[in-house]
Amino acid sequence: MFWLQQIFNGITQGSIYALMAIGYSIILGIIGLVTFVHGEVIMIGAFAGFFMVTFLKANFFLAVLAGFAASWLLGIIIERVCYRPFRSGPREIALIATIGLSILLRSLSQVTFGTEQKLMPDLLNSHFIPLGQIRITNIQLLIIFTVFILALLLHQFFYKTKTGIALRAVSMNKQAAALLGVHVNRTILLGNALGCALGGVSGVLLGIYYNSVHPVMGASVAMKAFTATVFGGIGSIPGAALGGILLGIFENLGVAIFSSGYRDIISFSILILILLIRPQGILGRKELER
């Protein structure tokens, strides 16, 4: 019973990691660069949900919508400031720009929101629901359901709409997509905004799950998103989702065996191991050397 409970807790936490990693994977695919500002995007989304719940007494779905909208707008700003001006220049410039914007957003959030942890109100009057040998909460069920629905809608968007197909084309080959009539700049802007918006939703879910948000939470969650993306396979959205869920399960099992202080150590150990054993990740494909 104890281990089943930890596995289910890991699935819940891993669902949030999966959403972070999906957003990160979309950005990585459409931009073609690792981003260092994704953690702050998640943090901004979390605070947008926090203020909706705390001051406007919003419900769960309005909090999620606020996190989505705030991070979507931030994604547009990031693309305009960090990527578009340097698209024809050395790749390192855009990377440095995301690092600078990450530091700026973190510092501004500490000045604006303070340096203390903020407690998120309990939206659903959390209570346990017995399910066989384990006990789950209504919040856990709602988080898993929300992530599942978003993943399903995202799949339909990428494979059933012209915009989604354009995003996939640009992520594969920007020059070929442009020759086929795709507006590359507009598509990149949309892809970055979408990836950031999903990150913002994951921040809201994280705040609701742990009942707290923090101005410096970005550094930790960014590494979780990156680890899950590498674990599942860079460039693979299903791989990012699988990597996030497995990361959550392994973290919770590791905490049960050792202590909560080992949570981040477990994540980084997984990252190192997967880079040593299978650098392309679980569902990633090994690139052929030319």
Amino acid 290: pLDDT: 34
Cβ–Cβ < 8 Å for 211, 137: no
In a domain, 283, yes or no: no
CATH code of the domain containing 250: 1.10.3470
30 burial (CB, 10 Å; 0-12 / 13-18 / 19+) is buried
Amino acid 216: pLDDT: 92
In a domain, 259, yes or no: yes
Model pLDDT for residues 150-178, shown as the tens digit of each residue: 999 999 999 999 999 999 999 999 999 99
Q: What count of other Cβ atoms lies within 10 Å of the Cβ of residue 171?
A: 21
In a domain, 152, yes or no: yes
Amino acid 287: pLDDT: 53
In a domain, 42, yes or no: yes
Kindly write down the DSSP assignment for every residue of 56-71, as one continuous string.
S---HHHHHHHHHHHH
Per the structure, the count of domains in the chain is: 1
Neighbouring residues of 278: CB distance < 8 A, sequence distance ≥ 6: none
Domain membership of residue 266 as a residue range: 2-122+129-277
Distance of CA 143 to the CA centre of its chain: 14
Q: Round to whole Å and give the CA distance between 206 and 156.
A: 25
Amino acid 288: pLDDT: 39
In a domain, 290, yes or no: no
Model pLDDT for residues 10-28, shown as the tens digit of each residue: 999 999 999 999 999 999 9
Helical packing angle, 2-31 and 138-160, nearest 10°: 30
The position carrying tokens 């892809």 is 191
Vertex 20 angle, CA 19 and 21, to 5° = 90
In a domain, 288, yes or no: no
Cβ–Cβ < 8 Å for 106, 115: no
Distance of CA 106 to the CA centre of its chain: 17
Q: Round to whole Å and give the CA distance between 231 and 271.
A: 7
Amino acid 125: pLDDT: 72
Amino acid 263: pLDDT: 83
In a domain, 203, yes or no: yes
Q: Round to whole Å and give the CA distance between 13 and 15.
A: 5
Model pLDDT for residues 244-278, shown as the tens digit of each residue: 999 999 999 998 888 777 888 888 888 898 888 88
pTM of the model: 0.93
In the numeric block, which tokens belong to residue 80? 């305009």
In the numeric block, which tokens belong to residue 70? 């705030």
Which residues does the chain have with pLDDT short of 50? 288-290
